[in-house]
Amino acid sequence: MLRVITANLNGIRSASKKGFFEWFGEQKADVLCVQEIKCSQDDMTPEFLAPHDFKGYFQHAVKKGYSGAGLYTRHEPDDVIIGFGSAEFDPEGRYVEARFGKLSIVSVYVPSGSSGEERQEAKYRFMDEFMPHLAELKSEGREVVVCGDVNIVHKEIDIKNWKGNQKNSGCLPEERAWLTKLFDDVGYVDVFRTLDTRAEQYTWWSNRGQAYAKNVGWRIDYEIATPGIAATAKRTSIFKDIKFSDHAPLTIDYDYKIKR
């Protein structure tokens, strides 16, 4: 069994103080993907670098206290790729890929466009660059699991307030169409939805009002996989018992062995 967890930490130091690494140590994970670590290399403590005999690999943003992605693995990778070759977005710390034989596990942090039009346009540029990269990984015959904060809901079932967010970043028609193309044309699979078709299964809640308490949320954290490994997915869960960040960790178990 291969257990893969993805979690946007909204600051690795903040999540650590809320018990995230203690929780992680109890999960029997194989790989943990993290996003928005908001921490420079100089600020990474031994716990942040190698908790519970896992080894961490990271891409830090050039801008201090911003973005950042990484992954922890208890299996020695054959290769680790930092960044996906984007002149614009690699300096923002958004992509780490670990390769185990023909399997790639990717931690990605897609930009948010919620701060204004300029960042929304940057988000579209990221999407335009990232789709061909995912298509190329798949065309190489690799099994791929893309984990991370995609900052887009796909369908009405994935957001509490569908009508009220049609003009807001993360729920724009162009963004949702991008995911549809990734699934229907490029051939990736929204793994969570193959296992859990229930409504109101969210991974992010606004800090405004009582969004978390009332479960007024969005499902924007994903494990998106190529069909072969996606078909082996057996169980999934969203962990909400402890609030480590404004996102909840997503866990999926695959009936898959890492082959060396």
Instruction: Convert the pLDDT of each residue in 20-43 to its tens digit.
Output: 999 999 999 999 999 999 999 999
Q: What is the pLDDT of residue 260?
A: 61
- Do the Cβ atoms of 180 and 224 come closer than 8 Å? no
Q: What is the pLDDT of residue 74?
A: 96
What does the pLDDT average to over 73-87? 98
* Best CA proximity match to 9, nearest among 251, 248, 237, 212: 248
Of the candidates 149, 190, 221, 253, the residue annotated as catalytic is 149
Instruction: Give the whole-number percent of the chain exceeding pLDDT 70.
Output: 100
What does the pLDDT average to over 215-234? 98
Tokens representing residue 45 in the block: 């403590």
Residue 184 known to be catalytic: no
Q: Helices in the chain by DSSP H: which ranges?
A: 12-17, 20-25, 46-49, 117-139, 173-181, 191-195, 227-230
The DSSP result for 220-251, as a single string, is: -EEEEE-HHHHTTEEEEEE--SS-SSSB--EE
* Best CA proximity match to 7, nearest among 62, 72, 60: 72
Banded pLDDT at 198 (limits 50, 70, 90):
very high
Tell which CATH classification among 3.30.360.10, 3.30.930.10, 3.60.10.10, 3.40.50.720 matches the domain 2-254: 3.60.10.10
Q: What is the pLDDT of residue 91?
A: 98
Sequence ranges of the domains in the chain: 2-254
95-142: per-residue pLDDT in tens?
Answer: 999 999 999 999 999 999 999 999 999 999 999 999 999 999 999 999
Q: What is the pLDDT of residue 37?
A: 98
> pTM of the prediction?
0.97
- Do the Cβ atoms of 156 and 164 come closer than 8 Å? no
Instruction: Give the whole-number percent of the chain exceeding pLDDT 90.
Output: 98
* Best CA proximity match to 31, nearest among 163, 171, 225: 225
